[in-house]
Amino acid sequence: MGKTEKKSFVKGAAILGIAGLLCKIIGALFRIPLRNLMGVAGMTYYSTVYPYYSWLLVVSSSGLPTAISKLVSERVTLGDYAGAKRVFRKSLLLLTVIGLVTTALMFFGADALAQVTNCPGAEKSFRALAPALFFVSVMCAYRGYLQGLQQMTGTAMSQLTEQAGKLIISLLLVRILLPRGYDVAAMGALLGITASEILALIVIFLFYLLHQKTDPGFRSAKDLVEERGNDHTIRDILVIAIPVTIGASIMPLTGIVDTLLIKNIMLSTGFSREYADMCFAVFRTDVSTIINMPAVLTVALAMSLVPAISAACTRNDRIGVQRVSRMGLKLALIVGLPCAVGLYVIGGQVIEFLFKVTPEELTIGTALMKSSAVGIIFLSLVQTMTGCLQGCGRPLIPVINLGAGAVVKIVVMAVLMFDPALNIQGASISTVACYAVAGILDLVYLIRLTGMRVSIWDCFGKPIVASLAMGGAVYFAGAFLKNHVGSTVATLGSVAVGVVIYGALVIALRMFSTEELAFIPGGARLRGLLGRKGERA
């Protein structure tokens, strides 16, 4: 790869990385006002429908764009612009068919899905969201094509349009439709997602047109895209796409498991529909939204690990691979442990701060936060270890391990939730078990693959000590502030105390060498303040 190509690749990856990070932040923030507008009654419908959309979306949005971009890139590298156009046209046809089929499945299966999930009235929401599957499928053909040409701006802008449109249109429709009932309001929220996908498709299509007009290679290839005998384009696309799609479908399937089991088990063990709906909505909306917030940080860390490890592998630098992998493990724990301890201590206060909740919802949410908080550690581990293994050229290993975790989740949930004393806690514990199995298996495999040695004190001991000390400070600060100021100020004050204490302990315990700070945003500047290269910060 030449310097210009390498620079273009790095720039494109950075554009997609930043856009992806912003999208995750907007997506996390979207659920807070949505929950406060609709309450648990409305979010029951939303949280029931959305996992099915996410799962069907995997068919078009995971493996196929990757396959398209790879094949387009290969053909353009050889100067075969007509071949690149042929890949695009075949993939556009394939994704159009997939979009129509998945849309039809959700639209015409809406009544059956509402019945099997024990959510009467959800059929309207299923139908409102179904057309989005078609628009996303078509959009993915354009995204894959432009990414194969190293034109990442179009994909990034369409992603941001998608998230911003969802935030604005969905909330507006909910406000308008809420007087007509929670089921209609939820339908409006999901209809807003469909509208946002239309806008995103328009944006990516405009970037496609712009590229076709400005790239001389594609202008000259315009009339050369005839069909060839024995053309294996579709087969080539599917060979690449199917394994990736299977892997990407596992996580959304765990959400479907929740929709199928939680309410049905609770109803079968004697709980009322109202209580089951409330527990389901609090778990899938309030608790899950907060628990997944630290993932924004760990996803960004994982993104930075992939190219670093890939480069070390390319150089056959075994020591470098071990060093970066060890850094990934350390970062996962340094981020995950304090978040887990902090939310265990003041999770209830955070729920009360972010959401409009009744006393009963707060009681349920607080208990669920305590059992779910541990999962942050393992989720952080899963995400960073996945980045390490992908960088080492082992992308299927995290998929297999997550699949094992999903099986454990189903078994644990089925066993625990039939105990009326545990009920919804069984769902929370099963999710932690899923991430624990996947994260530990990933770590064990990475250690065997790279031969890296892990310092128990450096990687585990220091973050644990700092997190426990921070947790104690947060607890006492929260108790003191709550007796003297309002709950909002107490929550913000507790978080501020935790950040200051933990940050001070990270420096005092010298958790990072200045070389390791290069992996942290702003780390280079901090390295200059803390000392010479090789010293510990």
pLDDT over 70 at 240, yes or no: yes
509 against 151, higher pLDDT: 509
pLDDT over 50 at 117, yes or no: yes
Average pLDDT for the chain: 86
pLDDT tens-place string over residues 267-308:
999 999 999 999 999 999 999 989 988 877 777 677 667 777
Q: What is the pLDDT of residue 72?
A: 87
pLDDT tens-place string over residues 408-446:
999 999 999 999 888 999 999 999 999 999 999 999 999
The H-assigned helical ranges of 180-317 are 182-214, 216-220, 233-248, 250-268, 273-281, 288-291, 295-314
Tokens in use for 514? 């200045």
Q: What is the pLDDT of residue 225?
A: 47
338 against 81, higher pLDDT: 338
Q: Which residues contact 222 (CB under 8 A, 6 or more apart)?
A: none
Tokens 């042929």 belong to 86
pLDDT tens-place string over residues 162-212:
999 999 999 999 999 999 999 999 999 999 999 999 999 999 999 999 887
Q: What is the pLDDT of residue 530?
A: 55
Judged by average pLDDT, the poorest of 3-12, 80-89, 374-383, 457-466 is 3-12
Q: What is the pLDDT of residue 9?
A: 47
Q: What is the pLDDT of residue 223?
A: 47
Cα–Cα separations (whole angstroms), residue 414 to 192, 265, 316, 425: 34, 8, 46, 12
DSSP 257-281: HHHHHHHHHHHHTT--HHHHHHHHH
Q: What is the pLDDT of residue 469?
A: 96
pLDDT over 70 at 219, yes or no: no
Q: Which residues contact 115 (CB under 8 A, 6 or more apart)?
A: none
Cα–Cα separations (whole angstroms), residue 499 to 451, 470, 473: 34, 8, 10
Q: What is the pLDDT of residue 141?
A: 92
Q: What is the pLDDT of residue 390?
A: 80
